[in-house]
Amino acid sequence: MRPGTGLGLGLATLYMSAIVLVPLGAVVWRSRGDGWSGFWHDVTTPEASSTLRLTVGVSLAVAVINAGFGTLIAWVLVRDRFAGKRFVDALIDLPFALPTIVAGLVLLALYGPESPLGVDLAYTRPGVVVALLFVTLPFVVRTVQPVLIELDREMEEAAASLGATRATIFRRIILPNLMPAIAAGTALSFARAISEYGATVLISGNLPFKTQVASVHIFSQIENDNTTGAAAVSTVLLLVSLVVLLSLDLVQRWAVRRD
Amino acid sequence: MRMRTGGRFARATGLVVAVTLAVGAAACGDDDTAASDGSGGSVDLVAYSTPQEAYADIIEAFKADGHDGVDVSESYGASGDQSRAVEAGQPADYVAFSLEPDVNRLVEADLVADDWNSGQYHGMVTDSVVVLVVRPGNPKNIESWDDLIEDDVEVVTPNPFTSGGARWNVMAAYGAQIQQGRSEDEAQQYLADLFANVIVQDDSARKSLQTFSGGAGDVLLAYENEAIFAQQSGEDIEYIVPDDTILIENPVALTTGGADDQAAEDFLDFVYTTDAQRIFADHGYRPVVEGVAEPNEFPTPSGLFTIDDFGGWSEVSSTFFDPEDSVMADVERGIGVSTGG
């Protein structure tokens, strides 16, 4: 081991523990406050199970849409030339900068009952999906973009000279190279969507059993001084995110190995 | 028509700008308080969000009233959040909440003396009533609670499980039925019919007002002071005070730390002065001190009732608002089934 490596590892571990592992561990620990049967009860009440199903469902939809359109946007930004490209490129990160509650407010004004565009998605599940798409846009774009920039164009040119069609080149050469980045970005946007509160709280209308997302349900548990129940539902969200992150990590490894 | 919707969007954009500026101004305000020398002691005020503007004026008047050296730090947020923050250790001398259970939480944590409500005003500093806010000209002709369960009426009210304040609205609706001579079963059925017409259940009262201003719904269930606040902010709304409605009572208390503090005690005394109560009235709250409000400023509804008519908050919380087994849990589940999950 080179000198300094031990120090670096120690610092990284300490930092990770203080900032992430201990808080996450505390949530999981808290969720067991009423034992396993209490945990099971908290996450299977009609409200909790409905809100979890909805949240996981819309987050999956958001992740899939992001995988497609995020890749497309990254492609356009890297491979196409058009006026204002740098401006659009800078725009991609803005959803991160805007407080999500403001994002919700603006989306409601644009796609709500008084929509100047004539599109009313307020208080519906599609409205929730749109709000989540807004806040998760940068993930796939920003993970795919650098890979696409680094991608060796000579491979594509070689394939073309050997008679491969553009579709074949995309499917056999470009996509496999992008897969790890797409998988990573998709996983991030799923994990973010599953826990979002601010952007969805206004546009969803919070109708129980219809548009109430898990984070709002968790908030209502806290409001009722049921922190154990809140931690239990949070733990389920953490587990679902973990499963999705791990399985997309497997996709990345598989894609890398095929290279 | 296009012009109007365009105007609405412009106003929403304007609001975003206004919120940003207000946050900026609040940040600057912090510096001002920090600059105070604090030689006259200090008061940590922790309150729910709606009376923020009123407290700003009251603190100014308090300082002008011979407490210039007192350093008042202010914290505002959702009532339940503020109460839990103090329970978890946020410094507080003077706490103001939208409803009594948020004080009771601190009594149980030994942070507020259990005789906090033994004074002349029973610990309450302002009153209000639940009103029906409607569109200009009242196009759906809303006059009473019965009109809210018509088929074509859309209602906006916060979710009573996330918003403690929304519970006032539910109890007003329920109590009005009892007041009109209906049975408890009929009153519960009324709540089910009412919530079937609710198109949005925001997580807080202020967000409901926002939703209604944004164009959703025909009727908003709100506190009278919020309706007055909306009108003062230039919102084009009207409101009806139903004959049968609930008296909202907002508690204040000193924490056990604040009770030893002369400045905090002075501040508590000051909020009951005519000056401070008048400031509350100017912001739409009904003063608790007699003779402060003008004779016809806040007409008393003929069928006014209080939370004590239903056994007080601790009774009501478990009967009506237990998340799993209560009147409102049944109501929400009933609607969930009929709207197809």
What is the signed CA dihedral for B75, B77, B81, B83, rounded to 10 degrees? 50
> CA of B245 to nearest chain A CA: how many angstroms apart?
25
Q: pTM to 2 decimals?
A: 0.79
Partner residue opposite A206 with nearest CB, options B105, B203, B214: B203
Contact B214 A114 (CB under 8 A): yes
pLDDT digits (tens, 9 = 90+) for B94-153: 999 999 999 999 999 999 999 999 999 999 999 999 999 999 999 999 999 999 999 999
Contact B335 A208 (CB under 8 A): yes
**Mutation target among B2, B23, B162, B332 for the A interface, most CBs of A within 10 A:** B162
pLDDT-derived band at B253, boundaries 50, 70, 90:
very high
DSSP for A205-227, please give it.
Answer: TT-TTTT--HHHHHHHHHHTT-H
B69 phi, psi to nearest 5 deg:
-85, 0
pLDDT digits (tens, 9 = 90+) for A35-45: 888 899 999 99
Measure the CA–CA gap between B128 and A89, rounded to whole angstroms: 51
Residue B183 has pLDDT above 90, yes or no: yes
Task: Provide the percentage of residues in chain A whose pLDDT is more than 70.
Answer: 98
Residue B17 has pLDDT above 70, yes or no: no
Contacts B333 to A, Cβ<8 Å: 46-47, 208-209
- Chain A positions contacting chain B at CB under 8 Å are 45-47, 50, 102, 105-106, 108-110, 112-116, 122-123, 201-202, 205-210, 212, 216, 219-226, 229
What is the signed CA dihedral for B86, B87, B91, B96, rounded to 10 degrees? 40
- Please tell me what DSSP assigns to residue B309: G
Partner residue opposite B336 with nearest CB, options A106, A116, A208: A208
Q: Looking at domain A35-258, does it have CATH number 3.30.750.24?
A: no
Strands (E) across B160-243 are located at 198-200, 219-223, 238-240
Tell me if residue B132 falls in helix, strand or coil.
strand
Average pLDDT, chain A: 89
Tell me if residue A23 falls in helix, strand or coil.
helix
Q: What is the pLDDT of residue A113?
A: 83
By the 10 Å C-beta count (0-12 exposed, 13-18 middle, 19+ buried), B12 is classed as: buried
Tell me if residue B216 falls in helix, strand or coil.
coil
pLDDT digits (tens, 9 = 90+) for A45-69: 988 999 999 999 999 999 999 999 9
pLDDT digits (tens, 9 = 90+) for A99-131: 888 888 888 889 988 888 888 888 899 999 999
Task: Provide the percentage of residues in chain B whose pLDDT is more than 70.
Answer: 87
Q: What is the pLDDT of residue B263?
A: 93
Asked if residue A57 lies in contact with residue A255, where contact means CB atoms within 8 angstroms, the answer is no
